[in-house]
Chain A
């Protein structure tokens, strides 16, 4: 099988790292080799974070080459633009409709880019806008944005939904399994 490359980006504290774990573990549970890479430490909170996940028959580099991501799963609108050069020309994009204001914008030193999502959509044909927070709240908790986005991603990949569900159930707190199942399904329903 050809290697599948997924890049996840967002802001420290949004749950990017856990999402990467779940994708890789779902791929492994489906019989593939997988690698995942990210950098942590040094108060990454509020900073730009990125996680690379690759799966297939045999994976060498844990990092995706620019222009070779099949999917970018973005947790924050502006962060999508920061990593867009990683996407394949015919790749898919899933954007969580949320803006997290960086310090330079909060203090008035810089502007949050206007119409950023519109600009990105002009470049990428296959763009899914996902109201992650709203769907997560509907499923029972704003904290499940993560799982909603994984649902939206699952639709783009050929990994069986039940494999996703079993890895998610294992990785989230026991009390929230049902809620996360719902969140995953509502994300899966996004087109």
Chain B
């Protein structure tokens, strides 16, 4: 059947067709829809994991049982899961074990650009790179076969443009995979040094076999065009290069680690000029250049191989960038105007807004984390000083305090979301208590994993499939970590919020504030829009400091105004207005 699927939907479909049995993953843009779609199939056990390390370990356990297992994550998620990845590379896979990494060139919603193909090289496992939705489906299936054939985890590497582009896909039916059962084999499954030393030798032998396999792998293919120009490429870069150089000869690689050395060298010798076109890092280029020496001792290629000398290393590649660096892009006759930027904003009625307003007002140093609430750093709230990674807010606050003394703890607050707290904030909190910190942590508990599009988490009482689950309550949890000063607040109540923060930062010992109010998009507790009473409004603009998209300032009238299409009646602005000019009348 033909379907119009995103790369993520196609990976899910392919894994299902391959008979995948167990899936465990933490949401992360651009990977999230893989898990969401796998969660819809009733033949599969699919779960929301607390973090990526957990996701990979659950999948690894399933592989021990001879089941086909998959975990998926965004690129930085693989940093969290790197520990089990490297061990599983030694252990191998009894049932097919597929790790999907969705990288984010261009940083559409990420803190860095990282090319996770290097993880395949570093862990010494095969890397597959599809270049559109059809290949996503086919390679997801193939990944399980490869995994079992070569006794290895397989890295299926996507990028945002693959994950979130849609294309026409020919789908198939599911072939059931019956888990073959657990077999005790300590020499294979226990990574003590004595075993691991032998495993390493096997891993190196496996790589040689995989490289040989790559020479005849049907998805590594030559597309003959003009002899003049030869392009070696993979993934989405193939599609861009195909549009910009339709006449060229192509070597399209899909197994990008280990590389088919003979195939590449033959291709290079068959064309006059050779370019390696890839996004971000020089993953292919470096290997190809090094392989030239591997073939003959000195460089086997008699021609220059050009790649990053021409193509930018930073930022997302696209057909325009490619055409520009090759001098093939016409200048637009239209000169762009200077326009106000339009970055994403906290939604009208977002419960995080009140907390950030208070933090800004109290002039505290705020260590931030990864979630919708990272937007608290934006104008006009300006209430965030640092962001490192998932879970990094709690521990960064701790570091500030330990470097500058307890006085700094009185001027510092860490903010973290509910899902992020379960992901990796809790270990930081344990560290805070254990090492006698005076720090304050605000858990912005909006009862959902909002940024990736509203997934459940251990605090919401629902599974991936929306079935009831035990609720892990935050309050007793942080108390049992040893935090004595714990306050539950409603962040829509500005007075209560400010008071709680003042108390917490002045409290000796670690403090936690749980600011609980559900994300406005799930709860939909819309009340009638507020209006500005223009007789009362004095144009002081205090309400504008909230950064609510529904509030703007009428320059002619010198009064604030509220857009009734956007306002959801949270009344935070009303509580702030010194003239009580905002209300329902």
Given the known inter-chain contacts A38-B164, A39-B160, A41-B32, please indicate yes or no for A112 contacting B340, CB distance below 8 A.
Answer: yes
Among the 9-residue stretches A45-53, A150-158, A174-182, the one with 4 or more Cβ atoms under 8 Å from chain B is: A45-53
A residues in contact with B240, CB < 8 Å: 60-61, 63
Interface residues of B in 349-386 (CB under 8 A from A): 372, 375, 378-380
Q: Let me know if B379 and A47 touch, CB within 8 A.
A: no
Contact with A along B15-35 (1 / 0, CB 8 A): 000000000000001101000
Q: Let me know if A46 and B549 touch, CB within 8 A.
A: yes
Q: State the Cβ distance, B74 to closest chain A Cβ, in Å.
A: 9
Given the known inter-chain contacts A28-B168, A103-B549, please indicate yes or no for A67 contacting B340, CB distance below 8 A.
Answer: no
B108 to A, closest residue via Cβ: A39
Q: Let me know if B553 and A84 touch, CB within 8 A.
A: no
Of B242, B452, B563, the residue contacting A61 (CB under 8 A) is B242
Q: State the Cβ distance, A99 to closest chain B Cβ, in Å.
A: 11
Verify if A191 is at the interface (C-beta below 8 Å from B): no
B547 to A, closest residue via Cβ: A103
Q: State the Cβ distance, A50 to closest chain B Cβ, in Å.
A: 11
B106 to A, closest residue via Cβ: A39
Q: Let me know if B344 and A45 touch, CB within 8 A.
A: yes
A106 to B, closest residue via Cβ: B552
Q: Let me know if A103 and B29 touch, CB within 8 A.
A: no
Q: Let me know if A106 and B551 touch, CB within 8 A.
A: yes
CA distance A64 to B165 in the complex (A): 12
Of B165, B236, B329, B552, the residue contacting A65 (CB under 8 A) is B329
B residues in contact with A11, CB < 8 Å: 342
Q: Let me know if B552 and A105 touch, CB within 8 A.
A: yes
Q: Let me know if A84 and B549 touch, CB within 8 A.
A: no
Q: Let me know if A113 and B347 touch, CB within 8 A.
A: no
Verify if B480 is at the interface (C-beta below 8 Å from A): no
Q: Let me know if B452 and A41 touch, CB within 8 A.
A: yes
Verify if A121 is at the interface (C-beta below 8 Å from B): no
Q: Let me know if B336 and A48 touch, CB within 8 A.
A: no
A35 to B, closest residue via Cβ: B167
Q: Let me know if A101 and B339 touch, CB within 8 A.
A: no
Verify if A144 is at the interface (C-beta below 8 Å from B): no
Chain B at the A interface: mostly helix, strand, loop or mixed? loop
CA distance A35 to B239 in the complex (A): 11
Verify if A25 is at the interface (C-beta below 8 Å from B): yes
Q: State the Cβ distance, B75 to closest chain A Cβ, in Å.
A: 13
CA distance A110 to B523 in the complex (A): 33
Q: Let me know if B337 and A119 touch, CB within 8 A.
A: yes
Verify if B346 is at the interface (C-beta below 8 Å from A): yes
Of A12, A38, A81, the residue contacting B336 (CB under 8 A) is A81
Q: Let me know if B341 and A102 touch, CB within 8 A.
A: yes
Verify if B319 is at the interface (C-beta below 8 Å from A): yes
Q: Let me know if B453 and A41 touch, CB within 8 A.
A: yes
How many residues of chain B are within 8 Å of chain A by beta carbon? 59
Verify if A2 is at the interface (C-beta below 8 Å from B): no
Interface residues of A in 20-40 (CB under 8 A from B): 21, 24-25, 28, 33-40
B residues in contact with A24, CB < 8 Å: 4, 166
Verify if A1 is at the interface (C-beta below 8 Å from B): no
Q: State the Cβ distance, B240 to closest chain A Cβ, in Å.
A: 5
CA distance A33 to B244 in the complex (A): 19
A residues in contact with B378, CB < 8 Å: 103
Q: State the Cβ distance, A9 to closest chain B Cβ, in Å.
A: 11
Q: Let me know if B164 and A39 touch, CB within 8 A.
A: yes
CA distance A42 to B450 in the complex (A): 9
Q: Let me know if A66 and B320 touch, CB within 8 A.
A: yes
Interface residues of A in 63-114 (CB under 8 A from B): 63-67, 78-79, 81-82, 84-85, 87, 89, 101-113
Verify if A62 is at the interface (C-beta below 8 Å from B): yes
Verify if B474 is at the interface (C-beta below 8 Å from A): no
A residues in contact with B4, CB < 8 Å: 21, 24-25, 28, 34
B residues in contact with A79, CB < 8 Å: 342
Q: Let me know if B334 and A43 touch, CB within 8 A.
A: no
Q: Let me know if B553 and A35 touch, CB within 8 A.
A: no
Q: Let me know if B168 and A61 touch, CB within 8 A.
A: no
Q: Let me know if A67 and B332 touch, CB within 8 A.
A: yes
Verify if A166 is at the interface (C-beta below 8 Å from B): no
Verify if B184 is at the interface (C-beta below 8 Å from A): no
Q: State the Cβ distance, B480 to closest chain A Cβ, in Å.
A: 32
Verify if A128 is at the interface (C-beta below 8 Å from B): no
A residues in contact with B544, CB < 8 Å: 106-108
Q: Let me know if A37 and B161 touch, CB within 8 A.
A: yes
CA distance A84 to B336 in the complex (A): 8
Q: State the Cβ distance, A156 to closest chain B Cβ, in Å.
A: 19
Q: Let me know if A65 and B319 touch, CB within 8 A.
A: yes
Q: Let me know if B345 and A45 touch, CB within 8 A.
A: yes
CA distance A78 to B341 in the complex (A): 10
B residues in contact with A35, CB < 8 Å: 132, 165-167
Given the known inter-chain contacts A45-B344, A46-B347, A61-B242, please indicate yes or no for A82 contacting B339, CB distance below 8 A.
Answer: yes
Of A38, A40, A47, A123, the residue contacting B29 (CB under 8 A) is A40
B331 to A, closest residue via Cβ: A67
A–B Cβ pairs within 8 angstroms, 17 of them: A33-B168, A35-B132, A35-B165, A41-B29, A41-B30, A42-B109, A43-B344, A43-B345, A78-B342, A81-B336, A85-B334, A85-B336, A101-B552, A101-B563, A104-B379, A107-B380, A123-B333
Please give the residue numbers on chain B whose beta carbons come within 8 Å of chain A beta carbons, in ascending order: 2, 4, 29-30, 32, 108-109, 132, 160-161, 164-168, 236, 239-240, 242-244, 318-320, 323, 329-330, 332-334, 336-337, 339-347, 372, 375, 378-380, 450-453, 541, 544, 547, 549, 551-553, 555, 563
**Pairs of residues from A and B, 9 with the lowest C-beta to C-beta distance, nearest first:** A41-B29, A42-B109, A47-B344, A62-B165, A106-B552, A110-B340, A46-B345, A37-B165, A85-B332
> A28-B4, A102-B342, A107-B379 known; 16 other A-B pairs, CB under 8 Å?
A24-B166, A34-B4, A37-B166, A39-B30, A41-B453, A43-B375, A43-B451, A45-B344, A48-B342, A60-B240, A62-B161, A65-B320, A67-B330, A67-B332, A103-B379, A103-B549
